[in-house]
Amino acid sequence: IYDYKCPEAIRKVALDQSKVMINKQRMSMDVKDAKAYGVDPADFDNIMFFWGIQCYSAREVIENSKKVVTPTNWMNERFNAFSENYALCDLAHIPTDDDPDFTAMTKVNLYTYKTPDYILSSAQDFRKGKQGYQQQPWGAFMGGRARVFTNHMGTSEYAERPNFLAGNAYLPRIAQHENVLLAVYRVPIWYIQYFETHAYFPRHEFDEVVEKDGWVFGRRHKAYIALKSMNPADWKPKDPNMFKAVYEAAWQEYYDKADDYIYHCNGHANVWVTEMGSEAQSGSFEQFMAGFKGAGITGDTFTCAYQSPSLGEVGFGWNEDLTVNGTVIPLGDYDRYDNPFCKAAFDSRERRIQVAGQDYVIDHNI
């Protein structure tokens, strides 16, 4: 019999309606750092840890990976190819990517800005420029199906991973501070199939959508969003194949009710900016939109700046720090949890959750 009861403290955290809550947390680890945390990649007993985070072909792991599969297994050819590549590059003194797995779930620093009306959440500076699989590095959520994100498509259909909407063929560099997020894409020149990115912005799920001064604005209930592409962007017609893939036999009903939802731009390099607000934070929807008059993105994908109506000048780029009004905002090395209810160091084995008089401890030493 399944008799698990959610602890009261955790239930209260889930139901919390604070005006603003910021959660920072770090998960997993990079292969190069694992030994420092007691997980030696050279020790075969640890191979399932690295396979668990889908790091099969990392330089420090690959020899042990070869010991797992039989010679006729298809993954053995993957290991042989990467192992040979490391050896050839070493002979030629050519740098290599020692962490090449497109499936890898390595160290990630998560940032979430939550209000009663919306959530903006992202994986800060996660594996920028590397091949992706089904990772979705950021999203804006306004309740129901009103959600916005960007991606670099892997295919033009909806079955593979990554595909047209799910995941990224090449991962962007993301930075978020509070209600503002920048996504910088640089698709490598040898990936000749898709030199383009797009935003998923389902207009039919919003109460209002307005295009003005190069921005797309959306309102759902009391939550607002503003989205802009550095490159020129336009709407693509809705695709019946997407509705068939998601809704199967009922696809026609959903397709007929839908509006166009892909805001698309060409270019191997681009910057997308998202800023969110609400009636409580920004006043009316008209007041929110008025704040963006003249606001834009200057520079390029290497170094860019955005004049945010709510935060001030935000600077970023492919290799640049995130800055807000000249102050550097760290994007990494977060604690395991850092929020109003739980503060725990990354390598701590205890999680103490405190909320509204409730105190609950998760002790991994037991």
pLDDT of residue 1: 59
Report the amino acid identity of residue 80.
Answer: N
pLDDT of residue 365: 85
pLDDT of residue 366: 75
Note the pLDDT tens digit of each residue in 47-63.
Answer: 999 999 999 999 999 99
Task: Indicate the helix (H) or strand (E) that contains 343.
Answer: strand 342-344
- 182 and 316 in contact (C-beta within 8 Å)? yes
pLDDT of residue 193: 86
Rounded Cα–Cα distance for residues 118 and 324 (Å):
22
Find, among 336, 358, 314, the residue nearest to 107 by Cα.
336
* 340 cis-preceded (ω within 30 degrees of 0): no
Q: List, for the chain, all residue ranges whose pLDDT scores fall below the cut of 50.
A: none
- 190 and 169 in contact (C-beta within 8 Å)? no
pTM: 0.95
Find, among 201, 209, 197, 198, the residue nearest to 261 by Cα.
201
